[in-house]
Amino acid sequence: MKTARLSIAVVGVVVVVVLSVGSTVAQIDPRMPEGPNRDLVVRTCSACHDLSNIYSTVGRSRKRWSQTIEDMVLVGLKITPQDRALVLDYLATYLPQP
């Protein structure tokens, strides 16, 4: 009986994890351009706000995207220097100033 309960609990946890991963992938808005580090940008930015905040601001210069990241750090974004560089590269490359 205990083995059955444990098995049910394990299956339940696996289902929750699979659904969580699937919903994260499903949340990537197709308006976010394909490119290296897209998933990192989505994970980093969508932790605090909707992705429409990003693609609706398309047209920023690299300097302005860098300032936007700094603004986000001031309001609590935790990001390593390496990830910050990757996020900035993605934004400046795929959502650049026309």
Retrieve residue 98's tokens. 């026309």
What are the domain boundaries of the chain?
2-94
Per-residue pLDDT, 42 = 93
What's the pTM value of the predicted model, to 2 decimals?
0.69
Q: What is the pLDDT of residues 10-62, one digit of tens each?
A: 444 444 444 444 444 446 778 889 999 999 999 999 998 888 888 787 789 99
Q: How confident is the model at residue 76 (pLDDT cuts 50, 70, 90)?
A: very high
What is the C-alpha separation between 80 and 59, in angstroms, rounded?
25
Q: How confident is the model at residue 4 (pLDDT cuts 50, 70, 90)?
A: low
Per-residue pLDDT, 31 = 81
Distance of CA 19 to the CA centre of its chain: 17
